[in-house]
């Protein structure tokens, strides 16, 4: 029986309440709700705009350009917060399972992008057994160009630090800037054909939405 991504995310949300300290659960829940309500959506890139060419380090020690991703057709770019985020890992595995086979049949490339350093990308790729490109947007240059970055609140930073998570170190810049989870379908001319941003990081774009956008 196929497990839907949204069901997996809901199940994780329930389990997280038991796995984390109550104070942290309260902070993270309030933050997700606040982000959904107060996200600066007017800054998000629009369908029809173009993405600047980029060159990003990949998890295997090489580099990947946007032009190479769209050389033979459209590409799907998945922006995620980092391998430390359990919701991201659930989504990345779901895209591997439910999206990648169809993309391969269509000749569409898939790439996951986060601000973590390449070692973190490698760990994410290996831990989740991902067969698609995992890229490092150190400094959030690409994500910021799409208008989807934000700064975690002081309360969230304190809660994450209390759990031993230093995002400044994970991102290699000392900065705690993150991208909102998002999926972008970009055409061969670097034009955005689909953009779905999730300020509430406990929700994600369904594989079916991506396939519908490609159709």
Tokens of 152: 């975690």
Would you tell me how many other CB atoms lie within 10 Å of the CB of residue 165?
Answer: 14
The pTM of the whole model exceeds 0.85:
yes
Asked whether residue 34 carries a pLDDT value surpassing 90, the answer given is no
Which residues are within 8 A (CB) of 170 and not within 5 positions of it... i.e. 6 or more apart? Answer: 82, 84, 116, 117, 120
Tally of structural domains, the chain: 1
Distance between CA atoms of 116 and 36, rounded to whole angstroms?
Answer: 23
Residue 118 domain boundaries: 5-214
Q: Categorize the per-residue pLDDT at 40 as very low, low, confident or very high, splitting at 50, 70 and 90.
A: confident
CA nearest neighbour of 213 among 189, 191, 185: 185
Per the CB < 8 A criterion, the answer to whether 132 and 96 are in contact is yes
- By DSSP bridging, strand 75-79 and strand 192-197 are unpaired
In angstroms, the Cα distances linking 215 to 196, 206, 210 are 16, 15, 9
Confidence of residue 38 (pLDDT cuts 50, 70, 90): confident
Q: What is the pLDDT of residue 133?
A: 96
Q: Residue 71's pLDDT is what? A: 96
**Collapsed DSSP state (helix, strand, coil) of residue 64:** strand
**What is 48-92 written as a DSSP string?**
T-BPPP-EEEETTSSEEEHHHHTSSS-EEEEE-S-TT-HHHHHHH
Write down how long the chain is. Answer: 215
Rounded Cα gap, residues 89 and 86, in angstroms:
5
- Work out the pLDDT band at 2, boundaries 50, 70, 90: low
Q: How far is CA 40 from the centre of its chain?
A: 18
Average pLDDT over residues 87-115: 97
Task: Specify the CATH number for the domain of residue 143.
Answer: 3.40.30.10
Question: 10 Å Cβ neighbour count for 146?
Answer: 24
Contact 73, 188 (CB under 8 A): yes
Record the tokens describing residue 132, joined without a space.
């698609």
Q: Rounded to an integer, what distance in angstroms lies between the CA atom of residue 125 and that of residue 190?
A: 25
pLDDT (tens digit per residue) in 120-157: 999 999 999 999 999 999 999 999 999 999 999 999 99
């Amino acid at each position: 029986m196929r497990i839907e991504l949204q069901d997996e995310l809901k199940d994780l949300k329930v389990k997280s309440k038991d796995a984390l300290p109550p104070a942290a659960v309260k902070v993270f829940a309030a933050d997700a709700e606040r982000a959904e309500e107060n996200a600066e959506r007017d800054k998000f890139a629009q369908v029809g705009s173009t993405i600047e060419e980029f060159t990003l380090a990949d998890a295997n020690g090489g580099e990947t350009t946007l032009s190479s991703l769209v050389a033979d057709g459209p590409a799907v770019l998945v922006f995620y917060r980092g391998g430390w985020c359990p919701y991201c890992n659930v989504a990345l595995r779901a895209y591997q399972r439910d999206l990648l086979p169809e993309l391969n049949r269509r000749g569409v490339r898939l790439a996951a992008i986060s601000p973590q350093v390449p070692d973190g990308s490698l760990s994410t790729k290996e831990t989740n057994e991902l067969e698609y490109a995992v890229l490092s947007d150190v400094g959030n240059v690409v994500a910021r160009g799409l208008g989807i970055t934000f700064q975690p609140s002081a309360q969230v930073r304190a809660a994450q630090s209390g759990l031993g998570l230093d995002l400044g170190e994970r991102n290699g810049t000392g900065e705690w800037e993150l991208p909102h989870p998002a999926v972008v379908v970009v055409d061969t001319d670097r034009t955005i054909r689909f953009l779905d941003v999730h300020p509430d990081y406990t929700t994600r774009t369904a594989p079916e939405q991506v396939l519908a956008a490609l159709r």
